[in-house]
């Protein structure tokens, strides 16, 4: 009977932790609901965003094609291979800047909010896990139940981000 009461208490505690995680994510959702724009303003922002996004994606594609062409030429020229590692590092850094610019140009407010919610959830989990380690509750039954709830919440936040950002991979 005592073990049943303990298990019932742990189940209620895990459910409470899950509810807290959901409640903690509500401010980001509420912030999205407060954004008011006219249809014309939304249309103008979408058009400008689309042009900037298209331009940024084109720059990324062009850089990738140029890099691929150079790599093929370097493989054909044996003397260029010795210089290749530093050049590849430079190309990789330049491509990262272009990808970051494309991400900024193509990110919608909903996507940005979903990314922020996911990062905030990760930060909360990390801080909570550090507290568990310092208080020696890491690995206990209640901790394992709570970790299961955290994992489900992380999956939900990841799915929301994928939907908002239009991700099809990862």
Instruction: Report the predicted TM-score, pTM, of the whole model to 2 decimal places.
Output: 0.47
Cβ neighbours of residue 153 under 8 Å, at least 6 residues apart? 18, 21, 22, 25, 121
70, 88, 106 - which closes a domain? 106
User: How many structural domains does the chain have?
Assistant: 2
What band does 3 get if pLDDT is binned at 50, 70 and 90?
A: low
Tell me: do 88 and 123 sit in the same domain: no
Residue at 33 is within a domain: no
Cβ atoms < 10 Å from Cβ of 118: 21
CA nearest neighbour of 148 among 15, 5, 1: 15
Integer Cα distance of 52 and 104 in angstroms:
9
Q: What is the pLDDT of residue 118?
A: 94
- Mean pLDDT, residues 1-23: 49
Residue at 7 is within a domain: no
Tell me: do 99 and 116 sit in the same domain: no
Q: Looking at per-residue confidence, does 89 or 41 come out higher?
A: 89
Residue at 29 is within a domain: no
Residue at 47 is within a domain: yes
Residue at 21 is within a domain: no
Q: What is the pLDDT of residue 133?
A: 83
Integer Cα distance of 38 and 54 in angstroms:
24
Q: What is the pLDDT of residue 42?
A: 42
Tell me: do 84 and 127 sit in the same domain: no
Range with the poorest average pLDDT among 19-28, 127-136, 161-170? 19-28
Tokens of 88: 């590849």
Residue at 83 is within a domain: yes
- Per-residue pLDDT reduced to its tens digit, 32-83: 444 444 444 444 444 446 788 889 989 999 999 998 898 888 788 766 555 6
DSSP string spanning 60-98?
A: HHHHHHHHHHHHHHHHH-HHHHTTHHHHHHHHHHHHHHH
Q: What is the pLDDT of residue 154?
A: 93
Q: What is the pLDDT of residue 121?
A: 92
Q: What is the pLDDT of residue 155?
A: 94
- Per-residue pLDDT reduced to its tens digit, 97-153: 999 888 888 888 898 899 999 999 999 999 988 888 888 778 788 888 888 999 999
Tell me: do 149 and 112 sit in the same domain: yes
56, 89, 106 - which closes a domain? 106
Task: Report whether 101 contacts 56 (CB < 8 A).
Answer: yes
Domain that holds residue 81: 42-106
Residue at 148 is within a domain: yes
For residue 162, pLDDT over 50 is answered with: yes
Residue at 125 is within a domain: yes
Report how far apart, in Å, the C-alpha atoms of 37 and of each of 20, 40, 97 are: 31, 8, 31
CA nearest neighbour of 101 among 156, 54, 162: 54
106, 129, 159 - which closes a domain? 106
């Amino acid at each position: 009977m005592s073990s049943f009461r303990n298990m019932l208490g742990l189940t209620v505690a895990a459910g409470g932790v899950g509810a807290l995680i959901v409640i903690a994510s509500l401010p980001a959702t509420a912030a999205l609901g407060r954004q008011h724009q006219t249809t014309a303003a939304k249309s103008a922002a979408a058009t400008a965003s689309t042009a900037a996004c298209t331009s940024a994606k084109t720059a990324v594609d062009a850089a990738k094609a140029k890099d691929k062409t150079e790599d093929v030429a370097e493989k054909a020229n044996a003397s260029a291979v010795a210089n290749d590692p530093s050049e590849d590092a430079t190309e990789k850094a330049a491509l990262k800047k272009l990808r970051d610019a494309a991400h900024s140009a193509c990110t919608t407010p909903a996507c940005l909010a979903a990314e922020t919610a996911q990062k905030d959830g990760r930060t909360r989990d990390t801080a909570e896990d550090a507290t568990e380690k310092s208080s020696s509750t890491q690995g206990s039954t209640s901790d394992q139940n709570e970790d299961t709830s955290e994992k489900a919440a992380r999956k939900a936040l990841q799915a929301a981000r994928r939907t908002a950002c239009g991700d099809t991979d990862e």
